[in-house]
Amino acid sequence: MDPERNDSLLRVEDLTKSFTSRQGLAGSRVVAVDRVRFELPSTRPEILTLAGESGSGKTTLGRMIMGMIEPSAGHLYFMGRDVSRMPAAERQTWFRPRVQPIFQDPFATFNPLRRVETYLYETALNYRVAKHATADEQVDRALGEVGLSLKEVKGRYPNELSGGQLQRISIARALITRPSLLVADEPVSMLDASLRMSVVNLFRRLKQQQSVIYITHDLATAYYASDRVAIMLRGWVVELGPVEKVLGTPLHPYTQLLKSSILEPDPTRKTRLEVPLSAGDVRDDAREGCRFASRCPRVLDVCRRVAPRDTIVDGRMVKCHLFGDSDGHANGSGPHPN
């Protein structure tokens, strides 16, 4: 495959990040993200959700995609260019404006002593999307995209605005550079339930212009907002495909368990994806076999010995021995749906 081929907005190939564990035995390794592969098309913006229980590697994957942490292995191509090999200066001027982050806590994003619009002006001027004379116009345009205006916001301090307004302003800040991709890590989890859907709706509207990687615990908003969903389990993507397939008729036993234990009919309700670890289920990513084997209600003998491959079943990717040929090969070499 030609690594520089320019047919996708984002392509991650076997993206991997390992950390030396902060807990447990000194020097033990956690593979936070393990050979993850997917693409976002350049032809049509979409919302791809990364969902999965706490510690499954969503934030780590998002941070690698934003260029905030270096992969241990694998590649990240953005508009056909290998970001991991890009010189720092080019990352700053070419990549950074095109891929913008939105963080979880709007109150932590803004210094309480600074007027909120200063963040937007700074971004506009730093990335040279505006000269001083045109900055007002650019800032007002970005605020307009999130349903606010410069007139409403100018001169206000963070404590004079609600969490929902602040999160809109941080989204406006991200839009100043007219990015092609937003990476939003739990962007609504700090907001009141009543405000959540309005911010999720905003992402759906913004999708007309740019793709969004939406990281969440909340399967209900994932169901509502996404085009495609990737379900993460201990660093693996175990199921990936269109939302109506993956969350509508999940195939992986882990996705099925998440859906049955979590999905709430009311999308504004706060939900967290937690499937309890069973007793004695110590995290050990180096262990052979499937990482869900010790919790899986449909476990087979092979699951404890051999890592499953990625297989295409019914229009989505599934990493599970219940599907595919279980012939004992290591995972990662199978076909992909994207």
Residues within the interface to ligand ATP (CB under 6 A) = 19, 22, 30, 32, 52, 54-60, 217
Q: With beta carbons less than 8 A apart as the criterion, state whether 215 and 209 touch.
A: no
State which residue, 55 or 332, has the beta carbon closest to ligand ATP.
55
State which residue, 135 or 230, has the beta carbon closest to ligand ATP.
230
Count of chain residues binding Mg ion (CB under 5 A): 1
Amino acid sitting at position 17 = K
State which residue, 233 or 293, has the beta carbon closest to Mg ion.
233
State which residue, 254 or 323, has the beta carbon closest to ligand ATP.
254
What tokens were used for 85?
Answer: 């090999």
* Torsion angles phi and psi, residue 103, rounded to 5: -100, 175
Residue 210 within binding range of Mg ion, rule CB under 5 A: no
The binder of Mg ion chosen from 8, 16, 49, 59 (CB under 5 A): 59
What tokens were used for 228?
Answer: 């495609």
230 binds, among ligand ATP, Mg ion, none (CB under 5 to 8 A by kind): none
Residue 18 within binding range of Mg ion, rule CB under 5 A: no
Q: Which residues in 310-337 are b (16+ Cβ under 10 Å) and which e?
A: bbebeebbbbbbbbbebeeeebeebeeb
In angstroms, the CA 129 to CA 118 distance is 15
How do beta strands 310-313 and 99-102 pair?
A: unpaired
State which residue, 143 or 184, has the beta carbon closest to Mg ion.
184
Of the listed pieces 55-63, 102-110, 249-257, 273-281, which binds Mg ion according to CB under 5 A? Answer: 55-63
22 binds, among ligand ATP, Mg ion, none (CB under 5 to 8 A by kind): ligand ATP
What tokens were used for 116?
Answer: 């909120």
- Beta bridge pairs of residue 36: 15
56 binds, among Mg ion, ligand ATP, none (CB under 5 to 8 A by kind): ligand ATP
